[in-house]
Amino acid sequence: MPGGPLPQAPPLPGYGVPGGPQEQLAGRLARLGAGILDSILLGILAMPAALAAIRWDKMQESIDSGEPITNPMDLYNIPVLLAGYAVVFVVGFAYYTVLHVKWGQTLGKKAFGIRVVQASDRSAITWGQAFARQGFVYAIAIVTLVLNFLTPAAGILGLVGLLDNAWILWDERRQAVHDKVAGTMVTKATPWTPNPYARPPGKF
């Protein structure tokens, strides 16, 4: 039998060679963990706003009279609740937008070693992409919130938000819908992968 190297089997479709583009995509569990951690951090911020809006007097009246409150909205001072939501919305939008533009990572993404980049060439994302990305996510949340005040049946719109994130389960590049809208994707942030957000020392 003639000598020489044995022929190598081609890589499986969709997976690429070791270290190739497909292996640099952020893992689905890493994205989930980062999202949960960011939600917890923003939830801590939202807690004081929710507590400030509770009608403690109504709750005490219900306890004293023994009559249950049939409409949960009666337990809240709606103007205070909406004002609190507005503050949390602005801070949350700034949190995701600024951190993604500056470093490609929120605290959750940094903890799980992943970052957002442009889908076209894996460079740093622009302000426009960051606004589009987060704007799409928050638009779903705001519409759902507003309609929930009108009818509980609007809760089904929450499925739209779930579908947005669930898209990474079957998408070849593991993009959520908001990634496709903004032209972004999420990759691993390892010491051996290029960091398009790297800046010279001392430059913000």
DSSP character at residue 193: S
Listed in sequence order, the residues at least 6 apart from 83 whose beta carbon sits closer than 8 Å to its beta carbon are: 49
pLDDT truncated to tens, each residue of the chain (204 aa)? 455 555 554 444 443 444 555 678 999 999 999 999 999 998 888 788 777 777 776 666 767 676 776 666 667 777 877 787 788 889 999 999 999 999 999 999 999 999 999 999 999 999 999 999 999 998 887 777 777 666 665 556 666 677 888 899 999 999 999 999 999 999 999 888 889 998 765 555
Distance (Å, whole) CA 116 – CA 193: 13
Distance (Å, whole) CA 12 – CA 198: 33
Distance (Å, whole) CA 27 – CA 174: 8
For residue 157, the model assigns a pLDDT of 60
CA neighbours within 13 Å on the CB side: how many for 48?
5
Output the CA–CA distances (angstroms, integers) from residue 185 to 116, 174, 179, in the order listed. 6, 8, 6
Give the pair of three-digit tokens for residue 110: 């940094």
Distance (Å, whole) CA 127 – CA 39: 22
The 10 Å Cβ neighbour count of residue 127 is 11
For residue 154, the model assigns a pLDDT of 56
Give the pair of three-digit tokens for residue 81: 């609740």
Contact predicate 104/115, CB 8 Å: yes
Contact predicate 158/172, CB 8 Å: no
For residue 155, the model assigns a pLDDT of 59
